[in-house]
Homo-oligomer: A and B are copies of this chain.
Amino acid sequence: MRHYFPILDWSKAYSRETLTSDLVAALIVTIMLIPQSLAYALLAGLPPEVGLYASILPLVVYAVFGTSRTLAVGPVAVASLMTAAAVGKLAAQGTPEYYGAAIALAFLSGLMLLAMGLLRLGFVANFLSHPVISGFVTASGIIIAAGQIPHLLGIRAKGETLPDLLHEIWINLNDINIFTLVLGASTVCFLFWSRTNLKDFLLSRKVRPGLATVLTRAAPVAAVVITTLATAIFGLKARGVAIVGTVPQGLPTPSLPPLDLQLWSQIAVPALLIAIVGYVETISVAQTLAAKRRQRIDPDQELVALGACNIGSAFAGGFPVTGGFSRSVVNFDAGAQTPAAGAYTAVGMALATVFLTPLLFFLPKATLAATIILAVLTLVDLGAIRRTFAYSRADGAAMAATILVTLAMGVETGILAGVALSLFLHLYRTSRPHVAVVGQVPGTEHFRNVERHNVITAPDVLTVRVDESLYFPNARFLEDYIQDQIAENKAVRHLVLMFPAVNDVDSSALESLEAILHMLEASGVTLHLSEVKGPVMDRLRRSHFLDALTGQVFLTQYDAMLHLAPALTAKTLAASRRETSRNGA
């Protein structure tokens, strides 16, 4: 019970002090979240109020189910872009079908996350490698930023891929609206300046550090207020500046998501992708922040929590939500102590939905575009390609490929290509276990790789050390390897397989070992094992492999050599004895 409802844990010790910290954090996050949630709704191609709806119920749900003390969930840039890409294929923006599909997407990806959590399948997320995720996020950030340029210029241009977008912008460049451009460009400059310099500026004017932080965080809200007022006062709507317009006032009426199985099957793949990408983002943020306070995150419970949040978002008429990086950091820095801070943020967002929406009528879309651009620029990390490539060529190539495919072919193809590439690299790597022919280090009982060390080997004994567990993807490699070794070394009469690092031998590998045994038998070579771990030995005893084994199982490789090449080993043993007693004396 307590496992699935972490709220039961932390709520017991909830004090007045914690309440104060949580309330302050909630206030700061609310101020940040209002413009962001409007902007991400527009990015997803949805009416602005949907962004507000997605920032209320999910936060309350996370407070009940989440294991992170400071994670802030809500609409985020990448998931919004993925929503637009998925839903845009099924219906036209602005239609009830489009909105319904976005709700269904939240619901279905919520169900998937919940199921994965209850089945404890969190490990599935590990199969998106870091380079692929990082490349995907960078490329998404570039597409999102490029997609905002038309809003800043006051022109129309749409496109799911970077080439399409740039082409459309180029074609429509004549339609630039100068008022929109001035408004948009100055908002971008102001936001950029405030992010880098506002705090120092305020501190130099003797503003208290705490207040300076809050004021800096409130800069996007200030931009919203100023540009809205400017638009209203100077009648910029008549000059062609696009505005948000009427935003329905009041809380959403809870409703069932559309139970349309045909629709569900059409959005199943994007729902899964959004679920996994969102989860990976969420868990990374949660773990980073938890570590700073030596707290624990339960990855499987986070699946349950994020699933419940998305189901909650769907019931409240919202779209897919995940744990956001920047807002969680803000929440953490502002001193949030428990997930209750999230619930208070939800109250703040609900109040904004009830009271502030009429004020948003004259809010220019260019302002929201500027907010988005500033938010996603932190996602773009092109230097990571160089760093990753320097560390590992394969990983660097995977990252570059994911970026290129995402930019050129859109987010869905991009992430699918990334997943496929990750899995392929993984499968390729695990299909080649690390094995080495070893020999005795003179004067010791140690055995080392013949290619790297100066070691002693007997001509008729070949010892192969297997450095990984044997299971179906790599079992045949060992067969091939030994076949090659035996074909090359015609003098060999004994083969010793040294298993110090073999933790498991599955049925496929057992069949490979049997195939190796028969192959060696046919070639007149005896097969021995050495240094087999206890659990592996127990399991082998349950098969008939040990009965059929032509040679012996030795406890140590030294025993094996003592038995199979006594003359050679005795010599180095004597050397070893002399050496040891000299040291010991």
Contact = CB atoms under 8 A, between A and B. Distances in A.
A234 interface: no
Nearest to A295: B487
B291 A483 contact: yes
Given A292-B522, A487-B294, A584-B577, A506 B431 contact: no
A537 to B, nearest CB: 13
A277 to B, nearest CB: 15
Nearest to A426: B473
Given A395-B507, A508-B131, A434 B469 contact: yes
What is the predominant secondary structure among interface residues of chain A facing chain B?
helix
A543 B396 CA distance: 13
Contacts of A501: 467, 501
B584 A126 contact: no
A120 to B, nearest CB: 10
Contacts of A479: 287
Contacts of A297: 483
A392 interface: yes
A429 B504 contact: yes
A170 interface: no
A281 interface: no
A515 B131 contact: no
A539 interface: yes
B472 A422 contact: yes
Contact of A130 (B293, B452, B507, B580): B507
A519 interface: yes
B427 A127 contact: yes
A164 interface: no
B123 A507 contact: no
Contact of A507 (B388, B434, B539, B577): B388
A388 B514 CA distance: 14
A382 to B, nearest CB: 16
A437 interface: no
Interface string A486-521: 110000000000000101101110110001001100
Given A127-B472, A130-B475, A434-B503, 8 more contacts: A129-B472, A129-B506, A299-B476, A299-B480, A388-B507, A395-B508, A396-B507, A580-B580
